Structures are given as C-alpha cells and as structure tokens.
Amino acid sequence: MYTINGNVFILLGVICYLLVRIILIGMKNKKGVNWWKELISFLFAIYIGMVIAVTLFPIPIDFSTSIEHIRLSINVIPFVSIIKDIGKIGIAYDGDVLFMIGIIVRNVGGNILLLMPLGFLAPIIWGTFKKLKNTILLGLVISISIELLQLMESLFSSWGRITDIDDVICNVIGSIVGYWIYKITLMLASKFNFRVLNKTNSKGMELTEK
C-alpha cells in the first residue's frame, strides 16, 4: 500500500497560489491592489489547504478493499454515530469514562471547528456570503464534497475513513457559528467606532478608523 502525504499538498498549493497571485497583481496597477483583501484571501487559501490535508490526507492507495469494508464505513442516519459513542461511555477502553468523553468531544468539536473559519472568512471575501443562507449552503456543499471524497478513498484503501452524516451536520453548525462570529465582530467594531470590514465584497475590503 502506498500513501500520499498532506504536507506536500499544502506546500505545493501555497506555492501555486502565490505564483498565480503575484502574476495577476503584476498585471494590475499596484496602487489599485487591496492588500487587506489579498492577505485575507491568502489566509483563506491556506485554511482550505489545511482542511483538505486534515480530511483527505494521507491518501492511501490499496486495491484490496472489500465491499463489506466500504459498507461499514458509511453512515447516513443522523446522530447514530454520536449516540453509539455516548453508549460506550463507561464500557469502552476498560471503562475509562473521561477518555471516552474526550473522544466524543474531540470528534464532535473537531467537526464543528473545521468549518468555523469558512463561516467567518467567506462573508469577508465574497459579498454573496453576507447572507446566512448562502454561507450555510456553502458549508453544506463543502462538507458533502469532503464526505464523498472520503468515500472514494474507501474504494481504494483499507483505512478507517468514515463517510458520516453526523460530520456534515457538525460541519454546517460550525459554518453557522463562524458566520455569527463574523456578525458579532462587525457589531463590536461599530460599537467601538471602528469601520472594520465594511466593504466585505469581492471588489474590496477596508480596515480604517472613523
């Protein structure tokens, strides 16, 4: 079995992104470049690369996977996985309650945290995601895409990738939380007399004092 490492993907992705942006910026009038937007976009690109690296890498290549393994790696019933894990508290891992609770918190919390930056950054970069429903839809599409790609990985490996509807639910919740953090940030900025991210659209963003 062979594996493809995620660190290489992130490095190549960042290099490619920087090269493309440098070329595009070089073709523009530098005075017309919004460096604040460029910084946010760069951070967003790194974030997306990290999401891909965490959820899809390392990519194992093994054509000996059985159909039974694929069947067991799919859950389409909401909250079944979480309820099963809760039922294992005090039983699994030699009855270590705290350890099992830690696993549940890490799994659920990790999936919520995964797309929180998406909910925060997307409205800053693109005006269309200033609407909550659009941000939710973006989070849903990205989460489902991740799960489908993980399912494809299961076809070519014996690794324990799980395609789980619970992950999708937690991911979407995370994007909603991130969106409301964005809204609260704007509210606090207005309260303290700073005009922060008022122009959060594809044409420009600013961070200036009133």
With 90 as the cut, is the pLDDT of residue 26 above it?
Answer: no
| Residue 156 tokens, joined | 């070519």
Cα–Cα nearest to 116, from 138, 133, 131: 138
Longest C-alpha distance within the chain, in Å? 65
- pLDDT tens digits for 181-204? 999 988 887 777 665 455 444 444
Determine the angle formed by the axes of helices 165-191 and 80-87, rounding to 10 degrees: 100
Query: Residue 200 in 3-state DSSP?
Result: coil
Q: What is the rounded end-to-end Cα distance, in angstroms, of the chain?
A: 59
* Of the ranges 12-21, 33-42, 162-171, the best mean pLDDT one: 162-171
- pLDDT tens digits for 108-123? 999 999 999 999 999 9
With 70 as the cut, is the pLDDT of residue 88 above it?
Answer: yes
With 90 as the cut, is the pLDDT of residue 162 above it?
Answer: no
Q: Please state the rounded mean pLDDT for residues 151-157.
A: 76
